[in-house]
A and B are shown apart, each in its own frame.
Chain A
């Protein structure tokens, strides 16, 4: 496999490196790669640094464990500590989480933008002001609806269930170029149809002269007095051994490591926010999954990931979809072992896994713990827990309406349920929070934007309050949860913030 010009991997490096550039960007996901492409397009000398490796489309297979090792941080096994703990996954590879997400691409709901503007005191974020950026994002990453032949039976059953209930269910908008429906989104799209940053903004940035250092962990953002001077880090050898050092001197630093790594890097670099919100205000859209068994053959891995979304309960903060899981991930998530697990998994091709996403009102926190690195703490609130229970009930009801004969719920000690009446009776009793099996891939809010330095870590366009030349551009910026898939919002904000930086480049000597 050839590597693109401008890419340096750990295997290319034998000694310490020192690099000069105009802007150094930490992270190559939705925020970082977009910012890099925009700045490079404007003629700015850009360096991107990515902790994960470069894995091109040709390397993606249906081998889930390999993907977990190569494309995810810590094998996809992040844990937000609480009762219950919440499992989370972050991408760690060139292209970031866009390489392993489901490819859902939705504009920020207008009411969320309004809330950010009015309650969060964010400027330049009205629906009208964001419209050109959303349009540009959708063109850049080919946002559209699936070709009908790629829609799988699991999605059809969810739709049948929602239709039977009379619910609003809509086709998903996805960043894809005639997606083949391989159902391999979470292990990397093997056709390149999913227009992740790996196949869009990263090559675009490199084509415009940006440089990319992969397999390189940034240890600190460096500064002299009030101004940032660049970053320092080290290459990571196979097996995690530290390799040569990389020092980058730049006029501006953009941190785009995601809502966990971004605050962790800024905190360990010694930055403090007068708002005291750096690392706080973590929202994570808790997800819960039901496993539904059908008599008919479903073969849920035939067809696209999440073809539809149930939007009936969006105003209540609940989103429902069908998400086929590879056998290994399904087995890891169900409460069975031994012979019982074998019997359950023998029915794999008769299963629909459907999940609900909950817009949370509680918040968590990221802290650097000595010896352990960034750790996430999150305690679900009573209100959000009640919303999870309702979301699970609705999801299970949709499955029964579609003809499921048995449904497993994501609550410890909950028996299998066989009809809606049994479901209602069971969930009429309180469900202890600690018994919930929750996970997420949406992490937001830990360096939130606001014009008011007492409220936000960064300003409306991502610049850290009181630290000229230091920017954040990822989901950390969000003042609150958005209730839908966040990728398009992250990219649009990165485009908007890049444009502001380009307009004011002289101020930073770029």
Chain B
């Protein structure tokens, strides 16, 4: 066990190295590239075994990842944003191959307009694919979640690929102290890759990913995939316990921060939850009974745990770093759907959209959200969803628009 200052990307690369992966199909994209550069450097210098191949696109990269896993080797890959979307056909396709491997997604907002900084619309586009999703908030968590992801995906009751998500820039490029477990400890925890029924060899030919005709066999295989993803909830909890025993760090499917006695709860994913924790500390110092829930698992969705943790709470502020155009926050929809009909559920769920494309969510904004939440519970009326934007930001964008107009007039 050693401690190192690592970026989120560095932690992801270390996780792949410790997991003794065999194969890395790769393609560069900001802010993910550091992961494949690091692995490439280690492999080229003999620091770790394995093979890294740069494909010509993420579509091909994910195809190669699924194909290699289907042939029976432990596979690792990583992407971001447009890359995840470019490969989306294969994200859905390889999930159905039931070939486990781990993909790190370094979240970055989607075009248009094209930008580099993070939000969660990229990874949420993969929500319904069959990939499991684990969302991280610290560099340590990136490393540990990746190891857990291999155990989870490779479990014979699951056999699905897993996305481990870290926020671009805020996590990918931030250095934090990370505890690196010994390689032997990880080896004991993960074991050798067990290909089970996935292989191609001369003496036992196999047909994989074949077509079906008609809705009945199609439905059967889709249901199987769904049931396996659901089963992953139970399996995750087992692995969580074993991981804690071996490594001393515990990762519940839903992280709860000061929620036991809380009346009010912030609900959000990813590393901006760290900002929410600071706000919770500040508000508690001022006498508020407030906490934070952060789902680590998005798929499978830990519905039961969330219902339990929110029992008897007065109100929840759901903060979505994503936007479903014409509907609103995706986490808000997901949360509403599991609380409906539960008589112990909080009666007020307010939807806030913030942190798009790397936009900060300030402490003042968290305080304002808490205030609105309290007021709504007193009045018993849920306010309309709010898109976080300050008057100063609006002034800045008006300035940019004015410049754009002047530039155009000068040209004309």
Chains A and B come from one and the same complex: no
Which A residues are within 8 Å of any B CB, using their own CB?
A: none
B interface residue numbers (CB < 8 A to A): none
